[in-house]
Structure 1
Amino acid sequence: MNDAVRELVLTTRLTPTQRRIARELVNRAEDVPHLSAAELAELAQVSQPSVTRFAIALGFDGYPALKRRLRDLVGRPTQREQDGNDLQRAVRDEMDNLSRLADGLADPRLLQAAAGLLAASRPLPVLGLRAAAPLAGYFGYFASKIHSEVRVLDHGGSLLAERLEQAAGCGASAVLAYALPRYPREMLDGLAEARRLGLAIVVITDSPVSPAAELADLTLVASVGSQLLFDMHTAPMALTMVLLQAISDVDPSTTQRRLEDFELSASRRHLFVE
């Protein structure tokens, strides 16, 4: 994915319809310069005039001007991108995803703001459905060592709304949600319910124009690798651990005390062989 194309989209506040177009533009940066307005509209499931209005919103005279700019931004693949087999290119793409994540952490204020919201929530619900469920569970496993009450919500349906309502009733003030492709409808329904309950929403997602970003108070972005049969979540996993570190830094003394208590308990119960 071309970083310059991503930046082009981020410069303008977009409507929900325009976000759908932007998502296709970001995810298909190399293909869009060769698509007609009608073809892009079909991919984004919007009307053709919406594509024209989208281009104008980005500051162009129309869609042809946007396509010319995209051709300049995308350019030709580098030698590194051309070398190697499909598996090597997939791994290298993940390396690029991690590099983008690292670059985005140069200014940690957004991450710190998210950590502050999550650290203060008692309990802390963590939402992740389908492919995102393991990431929610991974976060929950480690977060429970530094946070007094973490509730992993990894099943949808009516039970999800019920558990969010219970968490809010017990004092929750924020929710962390993982929103990764393909975005489950139940996840979006859960975020809408969290908003109705007055919870602050922190989302870890793959794109600033993902469907979940529209419902989030704070959006943390980590790209997903899409070169193989199934997506690779290397960058979202790295962002998970970075967020955990930021949460632990909100109240270092409490973090240290809880970790020491866990170590004493683990030693008493002989949990680990080393």
Structure 2
Amino acid sequence: MGSKPLVRDLLKEKQAELTASERRLSAVLLEDSMVTGLQSITRLAEVAEVSTPTVIRLARKLGFDGYPDLQDAIRVELAERMKRPLAKLEAARDDARDHIVSRFVEAVSENINRTLDRLDLARFDTVAELLSDPARRLHLLGGRITRSNAHYFFNHLQIIRPHVLLMDSSPSVWPQSLLDMDDRSVLIVFDIRRYERELEKLARLAVGQGAEIVLFTDAWGSPIEKYAAHTFRAMVEVPSSWDSTLAINFVVEALVADIQSRSSGQSADRIAALENMLGASRIFRGN
């Protein structure tokens, strides 16, 4: 895919230029994570309740020659989103000219630079302010691969401020957490390809409870985006059978630094209290 814009991003960027029928068609494509765009032009027009010329006009407004050209771009985008670990491993083996460490460093550096290029600093500031508000209750959760990112963020936030909860990895106990969510709650979710349907369901229910969602995802965007108030996309591809979350953690660590700065008095008191507890409780010292 290189650096070509994603179809889903083009649809969002062009909203102000679209007619009412084109916006309806755009909404259908975005709602189903672009999968609807793989159908015939006639079927897509029926589903969106628009004319076939509307489909063609939308494709051209997005910069494509026509609907077949748009479909090709959607196929590539979906293939990248659903790429399996074994396929990625074979692709990595094809490029064995340099040592894996050199290639990995190059890929990670590129991921961080491209993530920074796309980072909305105003959104970053808004989220830092949101997460530093002690009146907000923060709930964190990651998927199978990103669970460690959620743990890492939780460990830091818990020291900086109160009311931070790490949700259990088992969906069977999520209803208990949902019970405590309201309009003062923030659900921080990590979800990269292959996206987890359980997390999407949780996000939908959390929004229903009034919670605000902060999403960390990959370049293609988790389906949770449609529920998220704030989304951070990071580049994840490396010469490995697994995606890398180092660029995601870069954003997380920058947020930790900003949140601590905004909560300096509160966090200093909490750290001092924690040190006192560690000093007074020999059980934590193992003697």
Both structures adopt the same fold (TM-score exceeding 0.5): yes
The 8 Å contact of residues 37 and 71 in structure 2, kept in 1 or not, is answered as: no
SS of the aligned residue for 1:260 comes to: helix
Match of 1:160 among 171, 174, 180: 174
CA apart distance, 1:147: 1.3
Match of 2:149 among 135, 156, 161: 135
CA apart distance, 1:100: 1.7
Q: Distance in 2 between matches of 1:93 and 1:151?
A: 33
SS of the aligned residue for 1:144 comes to: helix
SS of the aligned residue for 2:180 comes to: helix
Q: In the alignment, is residue 17 of structure 1 matched against residue 29 of structure 2?
A: yes
In structure 2, the residue matched to 1:84 is: 98
- Going from structure 1 to structure 2, the CA distance change for 1:200 and 1:268 (only over 3 Å counts) comes to same
Structure 2, unmatched stretches of 5+, are 16-25, 46-54, 74-94
Match of 2:62 among 58, 63, 68: 58
Match of 2:208 among 164, 171, 196: 196
In structure 2, the residue matched to 1:5 is: 5
The 8 Å contact of residues 97 and 235 in structure 1, kept in 2 or not, is answered as: yes
| 1:1-274 matches, cutoff 5 A | 2-6=2-6, 9=10, 11-13=13-15, 14-15=26-27, 17-18=29-30, 46-49=38-41, 55-63=59-67, 84-85=98-99, 88-105=102-119, 108-120=121-133, 121-168=135-182, 172-207=184-219, 209-269=221-281
SS of the aligned residue for 2:5 comes to: helix
- Going from structure 1 to structure 2, the CA distance change for 1:82 and 1:96 (only over 3 Å counts) comes to farther
- Going from structure 1 to structure 2, the CA distance change for 1:183 and 1:117 (only over 3 Å counts) comes to same
CA apart distance, 1:254: 1.5
CA apart distance, 1:93: 1.6
One-letter amino acid matched to 1:204:
F
Deviates more, 1:216-225 or 1:159-168: 159-168
Q: Distance in 1 between matches of 2:108 and 2:6?
A: 17
Q: Distance in 1 between matches of 2:270 and 2:262?
A: 14
Q: Distance in 2 between matches of 1:147 and 1:108?
A: 23
- Going from structure 1 to structure 2, the CA distance change for 1:208 and 1:68 (only over 3 Å counts) comes to closer
The C-alpha deviation readout for 1:203-245, integer Å capped at 9, x for no partner, is: 1111263312111111111111253112211111111111212
CA apart distance, 1:82: 9.5
Q: Distance in 1 between matches of 2:279 and 2:216?
A: 34
The C-alpha deviation readout for 1:36-73, integer Å capped at 9, x for no partner, is: xxxxx7xx87314259656335143414666999xxxx
Q: CA RMSD in A?
A: 3.5
One-letter amino acid matched to 2:198:
E
The 8 Å contact of residues 122 and 148 in structure 1, kept in 2 or not, is answered as: no
One-letter amino acid matched to 1:128:
G
In structure 1, the residue matched to 2:89 is: none
In structure 1, the residue matched to 2:51 is: none
The C-alpha deviation readout for 1:88-118, integer Å capped at 9, x for no partner, is: 334322111111223345x521111112222
Q: Which has the larger radius of gyration?
A: 2
CA apart distance, 1:166: 2.2
Q: Distance in 1 between matches of 2:268 and 2:177?
A: 30
Q: Distance in 2 between matches of 1:205 and 1:5?
A: 17
Q: Distance in 2 between matches of 1:267 and 1:103?
A: 44
CA apart distance, 1:246: 2.3
Q: Distance in 2 between matches of 1:201 and 1:68?
A: 32
Q: How many residues were matched structurally?
A: 240
Q: Distance in 1 between matches of 2:115 and 2:279?
A: 36
SS of the aligned residue for 2:260 comes to: helix
Q: Distance in 2 between matches of 1:226 and 1:63?
A: 32
Tell me the percent identity: 24
Deviates more, 1:124-133 or 1:221-230: 221-230
One-letter amino acid matched to 1:155:
S
